[in-house]
Amino acid sequence: MLRNKISAMAYASCLMMLLMSAANAQTLRDPTLPGQGFIAVQAKADNQSLVLNSIVNGQNTYAVINNIILSAGDAISGSGLRVSKISKDYVILSDGRKLQLFQSITER
């Protein structure tokens, strides 16, 4: 009888210690988080960040800009620009910029 009471108390003590350690672990700070004084700033996507990924020529011509399929006259979301012309290896934007599929390599 006494042995059963001691055994039950031992189990209860172990259970209590496990619960307390689990509760303590929840209050620990994640070491991968930035410091207390860190303020996250979301960078705005400017017009310079437009990337011409590919051009599809065929019955209809499409350009893939920033991984979005566009045709001539389509608006580029978030930039306020439109695709003016799609050529074989470049795209002209409404502000006059030319996005080239492959930049030319020049020797110095």
Distance CA 95, CA 108 (A): 31
Note the pTM of the prediction, 2 decimals: 0.51
Q: Give the pLDDT score at 102.
A: 76
Which CATH number applies to 47-100: 1.10.3470, 2.40.128, 2.30.30, 2.60.40?
Answer: 2.30.30
pLDDT along the chain (108 residues), means of 10: 72 79 66 71 59 92 94 91 94 94 70
Distance CA 74, CA 33 (A): 40
- Angle 103-105-108 (CA atoms, 0-180°, nearest 5)? 140
